[in-house]
Amino acid sequence: MEEELQHEMEQQNVLQVTEFVTANELATMMNVPVTKIIATCMSVGIFVSINQRLDAETIKLIADEFGFEVSFASEDVVNTIHKIEEEDRPEDLVPRNPIITVMGHVDHGKTSLLDYIRKTNVIAGEAGGITQHIGAYEVQTADGRKITFLDTPGHEAFTAMRARGAKMTDIAIIVIAADDKIMPQTVEAINHAQSAGVPIVFAINKIDKPGADPDRIKTELANMNLLVEEWGGKYQSQDISAKKGIGVEELLEKVILQADIMELKGNPNKRAKGVVIESALDKGRGYIAKLLVQDGTIRKGDPIVAGAIAGRVRAMYNERNQEVMSAGPSQPVLLLGLTGACQAGDTFNVMENEKEAKDIAAKRTQLAREQGLRTQTHLTLEEIGRRRALGNFKELNIIVKGDVDGSVEALSDSLIKLGTEEVQVNVIHKGVGQISENDVTLAMASDAIIIGFQVRPSVGARKMAETEHIDIRLYSIIYDAINELKDAIEGMLAPETQEKIVANLEIRETFKISKVGTIAGCMCLDGKINRQSNIRIIRDGIVVYTGKLASLKRFKDDVKEVVSGQDCGLNIENYNDIKVGDIVEAYEVIEIKRKL
């Protein structure tokens, strides 16, 4: 029995995890606050957000820190894929286009720069003028060289997407506005690029604007230990104006120079592998996925597995919506033929046959289900005790539906962060596609509100929500969704109470009246006493009684209030031990709405 107990104890310290668990799931399994995990990662220079999926090395590192061992349940799936992957022969390797991610703070001109490079206008099609999905574009420079660009959103909520953007890239262009300063999101973008080991080229934008000072930006970069080449450092930088196109050609030259130094090569003669940039549900075409091929060639008709989803390539389109039959290394394509929506950041592999693809997808689905069961949080006695101690603990359940997976991830990430000690925010379900009747049924069962981002409910779901009084909120800009939910949580917080002293009265005379009690003849020294005011009796600076007034009179008449300088008669509910010289202090209790 002792041996069994020992074995059980050892098993408790072994975490059974699948290949990409999120920081939040890991925290649940180890029963530590997610903030501690994020702090641990930051102390070793890794920046993660709550919903960000961690790689094997990071999981091992964190588990070690908290005294846990890790056992990966997905080893055999990974091994199967490794076996299938073919070795590269040196003669097969050919130069490939550089993949470049444009990063930086919101409104610093990332999309404007890409627009100028592509000579088209994407901004017009984006809600609120901000980029909310990763886009991938192939661009040809004046000398015929091709570059693949990834445009990532700048808003802080898209940390996870940006992190994935940096992971699949060769070079990062960090755009900083010359008329602004280095913002937190810019610092974050630099950290992502550095932790992914990606070379950085700085583009200092808006130099044509009055008040633009590129040197100030370079000084701020120098303070962060990032010296640009002109100042004797190793980082390339270029002053540009994305609107007017000043310096953009030079910027591209610097990027190509950096790519030439890196000698990027790919092998187009093997089965393709790469990364899912985005996935969505299209009404006419089914599930579509934006893929970036990193190595090999993908062709129409190939069996493919992306994350836990299998399928066969039905059709592929480039970013200008022209159909392509095959795509080689560094090429972004829009792919039709997957049986579900895979997650942004998932890796995809072209398999030998469809059976193999389906087997791997089924295994991954099973692992994900097991992981879901392991990370379900059940109420413990300690948690019930904590909620009882708080006295006014509330929960807010949310269902998030969006047009593309990246936005859903980002939004649910931001909403979970809004939770406080007293109000817990639970994202009980998130998915891609329109709001369906199933979502409304789930909301009914769990008292949840439904948040739709760039999607609408189906007719049946809308009617059902109206009859069952389920709240469906629809947004197309992420700030609005976050701010409205923040207001809702502030409304759920118990208000703070504050006392305000409204009057002081001095007792000058007391009269005992049978059947009534002791009446105090008072003089109002300052303020205004009200018939409804709460009062305290203060004797020699010490509070001797707290209560309410029974009556308030001037001469023989009952009055509602008495102001400073007037005399009055009052008696106090259930208290008659009053003496000449006592002070009657009148106060009101004010409720103050709490802010997050």
At 197, the pLDDT band (50, 70, 90 cuts) reads confident
Cα–Cα distance, 584 to 572 (Å, whole number)? 10
Give, in words, the CATH class of 95-265: alpha beta
- Is a pLDDT exceeding 50 seen at residue 296? yes
pLDDT digits (tens, 9 = 90+) for 153-165: 544 444 554 555 5
pLDDT at 124: 46
What is the rounded radius of gyration, in angstroms, for the C-alpha atoms of the chain?
33
Cα–Cα distance, 300 to 181 (Å, whole number)? 47
- Is a pLDDT exceeding 60 seen at residue 166? no
Cβ–Cβ < 8 Å for 276, 150: no
The pairing of beta strand 517-530 with beta strand 286-295: unpaired
Average pLDDT over residues 202-224: 83
The two tokens of residue 484 are 């409205």
pLDDT at 15: 73
pLDDT digits (tens, 9 = 90+) for 522-556: 999 999 998 888 999 999 889 899 999 988 998 88
pLDDT at 504: 92
pLDDT at 521: 92
Which amino acid belongs to residue 539? R
- Is a pLDDT exceeding 70 seen at residue 472? yes
Cβ–Cβ < 8 Å for 52, 23: yes
Average pLDDT over residues 502-520: 89
pLDDT at 583: 92
Residues of the chain with pLDDT > 90, as a percent, come to 6
pLDDT at 77: 60
Cβ–Cβ < 8 Å for 299, 325: yes
- Strand, coil or helix: 90: helix
Which amino acid belongs to residue 282? D
Cα–Cα distance, 404 to 164 (Å, whole number)? 15
pLDDT digits (tens, 9 = 90+) for 26-52: 887 787 888 888 888 878 777 777 766
Burial 19-36 (b: 16+ CB within 10 A, else e): bbbbbbbbbebbebebee
Residue of 152 and 471 predicted with greater confidence: 471
At 80, the pLDDT band (50, 70, 90 cuts) reads low
The two tokens of residue 588 are 């009101």
- Is a pLDDT exceeding 80 seen at residue 396? yes
- Domain 496-592 homologous superfamily, CATH: Translation factors (2.40.30.10)
Cβ–Cβ < 8 Å for 160, 49: yes
pLDDT at 321: 75
1.10.10.60, 3.40.50.10050, 3.30.930.10, 3.40.50.410: CATH of 392-492: 3.40.50.10050
pLDDT at 568: 92
Q: How many CB atoms lie within 10 A of CB 194?
A: 16
Residue of 232 and 566 predicted with greater confidence: 566
Q: How many CB atoms lie within 10 A of CB 540?
A: 8
- Is a pLDDT exceeding 70 seen at residue 503? yes
2.160.10.10, 2.40.30.10, 3.40.30.10, 1.20.58.1030: CATH of 273-372: 2.40.30.10
pLDDT at 121: 45
At 346, the pLDDT band (50, 70, 90 cuts) reads confident
What is the residue-averaged pLDDT of the chain? 80
At 9, the pLDDT band (50, 70, 90 cuts) reads low
- Residues in contact with 160: Cβ distance below 8 Å, sequence separation at least 6, in sequence order: 49, 51, 52, 53, 345, 406, 409, 410, 413
- Residues in contact with 437: Cβ distance below 8 Å, sequence separation at least 6, in sequence order: 458, 460, 461, 464
pLDDT at 412: 85
Helix (H) and strand (E) counts in the chain: 16, 31
Cα–Cα distance, 513 to 519 (Å, whole number)? 7
pLDDT digits (tens, 9 = 90+) for 250-261: 888 888 888 888
Cα–Cα distance, 494 to 401 (Å, whole number)? 30
Residue of 216 and 378 predicted with greater confidence: 216
- Is a pLDDT exceeding 80 seen at residue 573? yes
pLDDT at 157: 42
Average pLDDT over residues 508-532: 89
The two tokens of residue 467 are 């009859």
At 12, the pLDDT band (50, 70, 90 cuts) reads low
CA–CA distance from 13 to each of 30, 63, 68 (Å)?
9, 9, 5
Cα–Cα distance, 344 to 412 (Å, whole number)? 14
φ, ψ for residue 242 (rounded to 5)? -65, -35
Averaging pLDDT over each range in 17-26, 77-86, 122-131, 337-346, which range is the top one?
A: 337-346
Cα–Cα distance, 218 to 183 (Å, whole number)? 14
The closest alpha carbon to 252, from 178, 329, 142, belongs to 142
Cα–Cα distance, 193 to 172 (Å, whole number)? 7
pLDDT at 152: 62
* Domain residue extents for the chain: 2-73, 95-265, 273-372, 392-492, 496-592
Burial 195-209 (b: 16+ CB within 10 A, else e): bbebbbbbbbbbbee
pLDDT digits (tens, 9 = 90+) for 449-462: 999 988 898 888 89
Q: Of the given ranges (7-11, 314-318, 390-394, 478-482), which has the lowest mean pLDDT?
A: 7-11
pLDDT at 156: 45
One fold for both 95-265 and 273-372?
Answer: no
pLDDT at 584: 92
Residues of the chain with pLDDT > 70, as a percent, come to 86
Burial (0-12, 13-18, 19+ Cβ within 10 Å), 374: middle
Cα–Cα distance, 552 to 49 (Å, whole number)? 61
Predicted model pTM: 0.65
Q: How many CB atoms lie within 10 A of CB 233?
A: 15
Averaging pLDDT over each range in 87-91, 222-226, 410-414, 508-512, which range is the top one?
A: 508-512
pLDDT digits (tens, 9 = 90+) for 120-137: 445 444 445 444 555 677
